[in-house]
Amino acid sequence: MKIVFASTPGQEEKVIELARYFYTDIFPLYFSDEDIHEFERLEVLHTRPEQFERFSTLGDAFKVITSMQTLISILESGHIPGKYQSMFRKNVQTLTDYGICFPFNYSQFSDSKHVHLDYISTYTKAANRLLL
């Protein structure tokens, strides 16, 4: 007999939160708003209830969360050394295995020079709120 612990609603919320983080903090560094809008249309990093069933165990949910966090760490570093290429591919494959669309390859980020640092994206979180 094998005991398996189910993933928690908190873990599912964390996956959704990390996907949102990609859209607000990572993608604007590398892509234009038009590109990011297309990612939304293609459901990049989107999750539906049936996808959560694919990583319904505690261990599977941790793999998905860890893969997303690892990709974020790599991409936030700004300068992406070649030594992270295999780690990048491994984590993209993990997301793919669990039915999460992340159709990017390493060169799309490593060849980029953060071209949008001077660009204000509509996807970026506001730094402050205007109080009326």
Consecutive 10-residue runs of the chain (132 residues): their mean pLDDT?
61 91 92 92 86 73 94 85 88 94 89 58 60 48
- Residue 104's pLDDT is 93
- Residue 110's pLDDT is 77
Span 78-101, pLDDT tens digits = 777 778 899 999 999 999 999 999
In a domain, 37, yes or no: yes
In a domain, 14, yes or no: yes
In a domain, 33, yes or no: yes
In a domain, 123, yes or no: no
In a domain, 84, yes or no: yes
Domain containing 97 equals: 9-110
Total number of domains constituting the chain: 1
List, as one string, the DSSP characters of the chain.
Answer: ----PBPPHHHHHHHHHHHHHIIIIIHHHHS-HHHHHHHHHTTTT---HHHHHHT-BHHHHHHHHHHHHHHHHHHHTSS--GGGHHHHHHHHHHHHHTT------HHHHHS---TTTT---TTSPPSS----
- Residue 70's pLDDT is 95
In a domain, 16, yes or no: yes
